[in-house]
A and B are shown apart, each in its own frame.
Chain A
Amino acid sequence: LFNLFRGLVGSKSLTQDLMAPILDKMRDHLIAKNVATEIAHKLCESVASKLEGKVIGTFDTIATTIRTSLNEALVQILSPKRRVDILRDCLEARKNCRPYVMTFCGVNACDTFRAGAVEQLRTHTRHLNALHPPEKHAGRIMVQLYEKGYGKDAAGIAMEAIRFAKDSGIDVVLVDTAGRMQDNEPLMRALAKLIKVNEPDLVLFVGEALVDGIVLTKFDTIDDKVGAAISMTYITGQPIVFIGTGQTYTDLKALNANAVVHALMK
């Protein structure tokens, strides 16, 4: 009698078969939003195994149950397990009378390789100093460029720069590196050396992973194809520390996990 009653009001226990068509659709949807295929697969599988056997309530449909579960999984992926609090760590480093060192690396991102890289940073330095002139900061030059031209050993330059920063009481050293593909042996080795020799406080991967976190740029150019955020965090297990949202100096934001998931599930 009880079973019959349950059948009547339509509550049911979820099976793989029941979920399959909806999960297939969800998976395709994620792929179309730029989530890597393998990861979309795994996500849907984990949702399926989590929901299998679950009895869903009278007013819930299978589709909404799956959606909710997928939503949760996505938000969880994007929510950092580890907080990267750069400002706090910088202050800590200052207390210890040493500069805080951040290294930026990435696929094609002290770039001593790409033509114009040094001039690019010099121009940026000039712009930043124009925005924050010494007159406004008790005569201190706020941003300095440390460069030694092209083709030199990046690890060595970074080390000199850190020493220079320490001696002149500079708070933060940002080390830009040449962009590289993972299989570009010489450049990857140079990067590994740079990191080993200089032990930066934070290594950030820009774009697209011996790293502490990720900066995902060009968020302003992708509409709702935000799946890369999921793929990157899923694969590396690293939090997205910042997202780039434009080409000016203030276009660096924290990632809003809920907003990203919302765009993904739209």
Chain B
Amino acid sequence: MVLADLGRKITTALHSLSKATVINEEVLNSMLKEICAALLEADVNIRLVKQLRENVRAVIDFDEMAGGLNKRRMIQSAVYKELIKLVDPSVKPYQPVKGRPNIIMFVGLQGSGKTTTCTKLAYHYQKKNWKSCLVCADTFRAGAYDQIKQNATKARIPFYGSYTEVDPVIIAQDGVEMFKKEGFEMIIVDTSGRHKQEESLFEEMLAVANAIKPDNIIFVMDATIGQACEAQARAFKEKVDIGSVIITKLDGHAKGGGALSAVAATSSPIIFIGTGEHIDDLEPFKTKPFVSKLLGMGDIEGLIDK
């Protein structure tokens, strides 16, 4: 399971509540200390961790509270709520509509996993009988078109791209136009990797967005990136209207907390997570079930959205 280490540590800390005979300030503080240490180790932003500690503390008033059981439950649910707040901006994700074209544009830092995830997403919808296709508007990275071509061919997904056209705006526009005419429902546009320090790359992203007027812009974040993610996420959000987030590379030993902390900067919900390099390593994401599962609280709302 993703972030299993973090989940285990937090659960252990919460268990210390049930073991303690009386729950006083000291017990609470030492539990919070453990939880915060676990969060920091998973790369969660230190500012957010401090906030979480303060918020949990603020909920608990030792003078006014009654019996031990009650306190325990209150503390546990406060921690649960704070963890959810950490990853959930309380914004509804864009819902694609069947029977009409949904134009989805992918943006993100270099190497974050855009191209791989584009194919995964197209495949995900194709399996559900949506007419899905891919447009390669990355004219910068060497081999970008071949990458999409090979991925798409393997998954039998129609694709559009060009070896000669150098303007990503033109390719994106032509590709989207063509697939719209052909009645495709999921039109997914891959773009080059970019970063905020290079203004021209950001202008290019805006130009593509203006040209194809996407219904949803998905920001792809690499789980292994750490604290540098937040400033980038904020900058992307300021330039184009990001509607959703996908976090990739959450498989293996990824700490993930840096990326999770950066979600807030986009004010957009995480819709999927990438958990491997293969085409079906994509899991729909829902905050509450995710946090419940992380804390071993059982699969309350069903993690997988069928």
Q: Are A115 and B146 neighbours in the complex by a CB distance under 8 Å?
A: yes
A115 engages B195 (CB within 8 Å):
no
A23-65 vs B, CB cutoff 8 Å, 1 = contact: the mask equals 0000010011110111000000000000000000000000000
Q: Mark B259-285, 1 if CB is under 8 A from A, else 0.
A: 000000000000000000100000000
Q: Is A121 in contact with chain B by the CB < 8 A criterion?
A: yes
Q: With a CB–CB cut-off of 8 A, which chain A residues contact B227?
A: 31-34, 225, 227
13 A-B interface contacts by CB (under 8 A): A34-B227, A34-B228, A34-B258, A37-B41, A115-B151, A116-B150, A118-B146, A181-B249, A182-B253, A183-B252, A221-B232, A225-B226, A227-B226
Segment among A6-14, A122-130, A131-139 that sits at the interface with chain B: A122-130
* B142 lies within 8 A of A181 (CB): no
CA distance A119 to B146 in the complex (A): 7
B40 A37 Cβ-Cβ under 8 A: yes
Partner of B41, one of A32, A38, A218, A227: A38
Q: Does any Cβ of B come within 8 Å of A208's Cβ?
A: yes
Closest residue to B201 on the A side, CB-wise?
A247
Q: Which residues of B have CB within 8 Å of A127? A: 142
Say yes or no: is A120 at the interface (Cβ < 8 Å to chain B): yes
Do B277 and A114 touch (CB < 8 A)? yes
What string of 1s and 0s marks CB contacts (under 8 Å) between A218-241 and chain B? Answer: 101111010110000000000000
Interface membership of A84, Cβ < 8 A: no
Is the Cβ of A116 less than 8 Å from the Cβ of B224?
Answer: no
Interface residues on A, range: 35 or more
Instruction: Give, as a whole number of angstroms, the nearest-CB distance from A130 to chain B.
Output: 13
B143, A221: Cβ atoms under 8 Å? no
Query: Is B140 positioned at the interface, with any CB of A under 8 Å from its CB?
Result: yes
Of A116, A181, A208, A225, the most chain B CB neighbours within 10 A belong to A116
B142 touches A221 (CB 8 A): no
The listed residue with most B CB atoms (<10 A of its CB), out of A115, A123, A184, A225, is A115
**Which residues between 114 and 139 of chain B lie within 8 Å of chain A, taking CB atoms?**
115
Task: Give the residues in chain B near A113, CB-CB below 8 Å.
Answer: 277
Chain B 214-236 interface mask (CB, 8 Å, partner A; 1/0):
00000000001011100110000
Q: Is B157 located at the chain interface by the 8 A CB criterion?
A: no
Residues of A within 8 A of B253 (CB): 181-183
**Closest B-chain residue to A181, C-beta based?**
B252
- Alpha-carbon gap, A107 to B224, bound state (A): 10
Q: Are A181 and B251 in contact (CB under 8 A)?
A: yes
A68 adjacent to chain B (CB < 8 Å):
no
Question: Using a Cβ–Cβ cut-off of 8 Å, how many residues does chain B contribute to the interface with A?
Answer: 41
Give a binary string over B77-104; 1 marks a CB under 8 Å from any A CB, 0 the rest: 0000000000000000000000000000
Establish whether residues A220 and B111, one from each chain, have CB atoms under 8 Å apart when the complex forms: no
- Which of A183, A218, A221, A227 counts the most chain B CB atoms within 10 A? A221
**Which of B45, B231, B232, B277 is packed against the most chain A CB atoms within 10 Å?**
B277
Across the interface, do A123 and B142 meet the contact criterion of CB distance under 8 Å?
yes
For the complex, what is the distance from the CA of A114 to the CA of B253, rounded to whole Å? 20
**A123: nearest chain-B partner, CB-CB:** B142
Interface string of A64-104 (1 = CB under 8 A from B): 00000000000000000000000000000000000000000
Q: Cβ of B142 and Cβ of A120 under 8 Å apart?
A: yes
CB-based closest 4 A-B pairs: A116-B147, A120-B143, A123-B142, A119-B146
A208 to B227, alpha carbons, bound, how many Å? 13
Is the C-beta of A157 less than 8 angstroms from some C-beta in chain B? no
**CB-nearest residue of chain B to A107:** B224
Q: How far is the CA of A220 from the CA of B145 in the complex (A)?
A: 25
In the complex, what residues of B have CB within 8 A of residue A107's CB? 224, 249
Residue contact B46 to A28, C-beta cutoff 8 Å:
yes
Complex-state Cα separation, A108 to B149, whole angstroms: 20
Pairwise interchain contact B110-A218, C-beta atoms closer than 8 A: yes
| Cβ 8 A contact of A32, one of B46, B154, B198 | B46
Q: Within the assembled complex, what's the spacing in Å between the Cα atoms of A59 and B227? A: 36
Extra 7 A-B pairs, beta carbons < 8 Å, given A34-B258, A124-B142, A227-B226: A34-B227, A107-B224, A115-B146, A116-B146, A117-B143, A221-B196, A221-B228
Question: What chain B residues lie within 8 Å of A37 (beta carbons)?
Answer: 37, 40-41, 43
CA distance A37 to B37 in the complex (A): 8
B226 with A120: CB separation less than 8 A: no
In the assembled complex, the Cα of A222 lies from the Cα of B146 at a distance in Å of 29
Please tell me which one of the listed residues A108, A116, A122, A220 contacts residue B148 in the complex, with CB atoms under 8 A apart: A116
